[in-house]
Amino acid sequence: MTEYIEYDLLIVGSGIAGLRAAIESAKQNDTLRIAVISKVQVMRSHSVSAEGGTAAVLFENEGDNMESHIYDTIKGSDFLADQDVAEKLCLEIPKEIYQLEHWGMPWSRRKDGKIAQRNFGGYSYPGATYASDKVGFFEMQTLYDTCLKFDNIEFFNEWYVTSIIHDDKKFLGVTAIEISTGAFYTIKGTALIIASGGAGRMYSYSTYALSSTPDGLDMAYRAGMALKDMEFVQFHPTGILPSGILITEGARGEGGYLLNNNGERFMKQYAAEKMELAPRDIVSRAIMTEITHNRGFIHETGVQCMQLDLRHIGDDILKEKLGAIREISFKFSNIDPAKEPLYIRPVCHYMMGGIHTNIDGATELQGVWAAGEAACNSIHGANRLGANSTSECMVWGKITANMAVNYIANAQSESQFPHHLVDAEEKRIYDGIFRGGGKMNPYEIREKLTGILNDKAYVYRKESELIDGLKKIRELRNTSWRRVDDHAQEYNTNFINVMELDSMFRVAEVILLGATYRKESRGSHARIDYPHRDDNNFLHHTLVYYDINDPIMKKHPVTITKYKPVERKY
Ligand SMILES: Cc1cc2nc3c(=O)[nH]c(=O)nc-3n(C[C@H](O)[C@H](O)[C@H](O)COP(=O)(O)OP(=O)(O)OC[C@H]3O[C@@H](n4cnc5c(N)ncnc54)[C@H](O)[C@@H]3O)c2cc1C
């Protein structure tokens, strides 16, 4: 049986986007009742792991300029970014950097006392604003602390949202499980902001937090909203072996080299000017090409890889600016980066795709907005530049909050609530999953699913492999895996894991479908069988809608304001 509670604004997710949205809405209206719902404790949200920086133009008088941040973002996206959205990001983010500072953010400083910035891949000017190499942790701490100043923000930590309730026209509430008790709730609301983050745990080799599964994307998809551009998955060039933990691009921003087994800085063959600081798609492809031509290393685990050399940076700078990287190298690879190169390989790191929104973060369902990595407002197109995601979270956390507050102020009260939909949801999750009689071990199935995506839709892709991947995912989905061995009510992580797996199946299918359909190479989507970008046929976004039989695919135009697509050279 469900219990009912009610708020004005629901925010699913307590990462940077969710917290920024909560503060803005609380600031706009102190009588608004705001619920921030998160399946993990606030400070365990994935955003705490952001390392290297938040992109912003702060010092136009010193050589940086707005135009170059906008153009770098659009060029980095391989011209699939909506150009008005890129412009909005770049114009808005400097204010957010100073706003964070006023809320207590301990930005690193230059010698002259001004906020420090470092170089990142694909930028014309060092614009990644940083706090050592723990930018996400400090941003989260600052935002959380600020949230606590408002009495009208209430946190529901360790609550797992299962579905969106709506009447086909507009949003009415969500259903959720309180993980600590196992109780099933319906949280009614007038507006919803989905800030449920990315879903990179669908890949077996990943930099993401274990909680980064596609539940938020899937609940929007099942509620009739399109998922957009899901074929564009970013592989960060430097995941440290064997764990895949991220070595921030800031390490190359501070001067790190990438070396092949001849000791060569091989990036000179692929991006003569930018070298190691070319955009991530280009560097990841270069690494995989070197490996294919036997110029890689074999790690002790048997995995092929390259070296990242930080020795010449020196221990003092490593300690001061890359302290977390130093610690990760020691603890997870047993390597002192001041003495030995690190072994790295491209690793799943970001999803350019997400819930289809317009420039203001509005989805196709009235009363629902999406912000942060869960959203696809098309700022990153086919390839995100590093440091542009935390920027996006801040800017669209604020924008969507303003939109939602406005909407709530003008909303009509609802007379009928569709209780039958809540009953159907209860049946779906308790009869279909909790009491399911699956024969297979769902953890093994999850490992297989993530392995399939890693094998079939990695840095380089081709038709036969993508189709095979799709077939394998569908076969796996049809096996009998809906099984929860733990029947406890309280803290049943076994149940939550199987719920996550359920959403992974639907979203994995969308990634593979989009990648099969896009017969060109653009940004992070590199097809061996279609090695060139094809603007005549594919300069558009991919939309995928849920259908009980088969997903429905559509096209959506790219907004081009003044930057004509040209060949990318770095
Ligand atoms: C290792 C690493 C380093 C990075 N470094 C940088 C960097 O330096 N600069 C940069 O710009 N970007 C960086 N990124 C990317 C950036 O960190 C993320 O894109 C960004 O933090 C995402 O924030 P978010 O608020 O959208 O979501 P997240 O921080 O992922 O939060 C998602 C929230 O949704 C909640 N949630 C999800 N599903 C449910 C559910 N079913 N029910 C209830 N709650 C749910 C979670 O509990 C969580 O609170 C990095 C990424 C990684 C992996």
pLDDT at 463 over 90: yes
Mean pLDDT of the 549-555 span: 96
pLDDT at 415 over 90: no
pLDDT tens figures, 241-251: 999 999 999 89
* DSSP-derived 3-state class of residue 181: coil
Task: Identify which of 248, 270, 327 has the alpha carbon closest to the alpha carbon of residue 49.
Answer: 248
Find the 390 Cα to ligand 1 centroid distance in Å: 9
Find the 504 Cα to ligand 1 centroid distance in Å: 17
pLDDT value at residue 184: 97
Q: For ligand 1, is residue 385 a contact (CB within 6 Å)?
A: no
What is the phi/psi pair of residue 70, to 5°? -65, -50
Q: Which of the residues are catalytic?
A: 236, 252
pLDDT value at residue 63: 85
Q: For ligand 1, is residue 197 a contact (CB within 6 Å)?
A: yes
Q: For ligand 1, is residue 48 a contact (CB within 6 Å)?
A: no
pLDDT tens figures, 222-278: 999 999 999 999 999 999 999 999 999 989 999 999 999 999 999 999 999 999 999
Q: Are 522 and 533 in contact, with CB atoms under 8 Å apart?
A: yes
pLDDT tens figures, 273-311: 999 999 999 999 999 999 999 999 999 999 999 999 999
Q: For ligand 1, is residue 196 a contact (CB within 6 Å)?
A: yes
- Would you list the DSSP string of 441-501? -HHHHHHHHHHHHHHHSSSEE-HHHHHHHHHHHHHHHTSS--B-----STT-HHHHHHHHH
Mean pLDDT of the 176-191 span: 98
Find the 209 Cα to ligand 1 centroid distance in Å: 8
So where are the chain's domains?
3-232+352-410, 236-347, 419-540
Architecture of the domain delimited by 419-540: Up-down Bundle (1.20)
Q: Which residue's CA lies nearest to atom 8 of ligand 1?
A: 52
387 φ/ψ sector (left φ>0, alpha ψ -120 to 50, else beta): left
The CATH number for 3-232+352-410, chosen from 3.30.70.260, 3.40.50.300, 3.50.50.60, 3.30.70.270, is 3.50.50.60
* Helix axes 493-517 and 442-456, enclosed angle (nearest 10): 20
pLDDT at 412 over 90: no
pLDDT value at residue 314: 95
> Which atom of ligand 1 is least distant from the CA of 249?
8
What is the phi/psi pair of residue 301, to 5°? -85, -5
Mutate to test the pocket of ligand 1, among 389, 502, 504 (most ligand atoms within 8 A of CB): 389
Q: For ligand 1, is residue 211 a contact (CB within 6 Å)?
A: yes
Q: For ligand 1, is residue 247 a contact (CB within 6 Å)?
A: no
* DSSP-derived 3-state class of residue 352: coil
CA distances 300 to 117, 135, 341, 347, Å, are 36, 32, 14, 18
The CATH number for 236-347, chosen from 3.40.50.1470, 3.40.50.150, 3.40.50.2300, 3.90.700.10, is 3.90.700.10
pLDDT at 331 over 90: yes
pLDDT tens figures, 354-367: 999 999 999 999 99
